Chains A and B, each alone.
Chain A
Amino acid sequence: MNRVLPILTVLLAIVVIWYVAAIGMNANWQNTLNTRAALTNVPFTDFAQQTWAQDRPVLPAPHQVIGEIWNATVALEITSKRSLAYHGWITLSSTLLGFVLGTALGVLLAIIIVHNEASNRSLMPWIIASQTIPILAIAPMVVVGLGAVGITGTVPRALISMYLSFFPVVVGMVKGLRSPEGIQLDLMRTYDASPWQTFWKLRWPAAMPMLFASMKVGIAISLIGAVVSELSNAAGGGLGVRLLTGSYNGQTIQIWAALFIAAALAAVLVMVVGFAETAVNRRMGARPA
């Protein structure tokens, strides 16, 4: 109860601020509408309710967004092109595939970098440079380019997710694999351990905290990569497409609904990685926090 109460308080505050903001931001358009309809002297309580019930509000009220989510998921066939569950699944599948590929690539690069000074110097600048290129510029090239050679669907989108998510994993794992102290490494040397044994018995387990920390970042930006890649191919579907069509048509409620689904998806994915981390920690005998 002690933990729930502060969270609920903050949530309540956000909802209140949101409703108030919705009145302010939608007031102009509501005034225009009321003038056209020759309505004058609308009482404030009625006016507030009007601003919360517009078709295309500047800022939709929370209940409008929740209603839209309900209508576009539970109340709709999952195969429908308007179903947020359908689009959410498209985004989720490329997010997950991209995350798995990105984590694997990141771990692999980190292992190479840690074991070879030459690759440390040659690879690291490129890895950092790769993240300075706006993903919005790369995504269409990859999606359209691969589409031209017949690769469409989940794979090109997953590649964009991978492109974003491998980075935190590389950086985190390089740090993690280098985290053993000097005497822990010396110890391996006194046993004449092979590099392979030093890796599996020391470096890899020592890197676990960093792996999970970077995977949490990685899976969240993997989702961003998936959404951005969907903007390049509106026919392919996904939450990104819902955002895009929503903004073309001024369907702010639809945009917010898609945003909410994406945010919820990200929260759940980060939580899943967190659960995996807890399970691994328990197996590795970590001191309970």
Chain B
Amino acid sequence: MLINLFLFPFNFLNKIFTIFGEYVLLIMKIFQSPREWKDYIGITFDQMMIIGTKSIPIVIITSIFSGMVTSVQSAYQFESWTPTWFVGSIVGESILLELAPVISALVLTGRVGATIAAEIGTMRVTEQIDAIESLSFNPVLYLIFPRVVAGICMFPILVVIASFFGIFGGWFAAIMTLDVTTYDFFKGFKTWFHPFDAFFGIIKSFFFGFTITSIACFQGYNAKGGAQGVGEAATVTVVTSCVMIVVLDYIISEILI
């Protein structure tokens, strides 16, 4: 009992490294046969539609409200001792640097990550992946490559959309509920704006797109058992991706800012 308690951290670390190793090996398989990539371009475009285009409404809704909340709360914090045009600055910087990429990534973890894990997991437990392999398809290229590439390509586009609507939401809340004019809002927005701020969120989104889709594919691909195994794969995907998003957010900020 005492020995087990003592060994627990080592066993836990061992398990984490084993899973991480399996994840890396699976993702590396994408790069083993680049000549075959062209066979899967069509499926990749389908996945871009599913992952990207169909996620636009949820990204717009969450980013508008994120911008509105930022506007209202920054006005509340700076009340009486800073000029009102400061709101535009806070909204702009918060949305571009942090809220648009991170909130979008967290929302897409549920919308995209859980869907991918459940879909591939179901294919695993119903022998569809074996069927893919028996038809001479490479299952890694058929299932994982299109989703990961679609994630990497579409997340930045979604973040651009989220940034636009986030700022729109912040502006809307500012002129409707606060004593801020449109001129003041954009004066504040421009005061501390650097072009790099816009790219920073996009850079983050490449990493988030890869992380969410690759974790989801890995979990789904290795799902075991029946419905319970698929549910577990989806849950682990959401939890792991959320943790990885905030960890990566910090690491990328440390490196680039």
Chain B associates with chain A: no
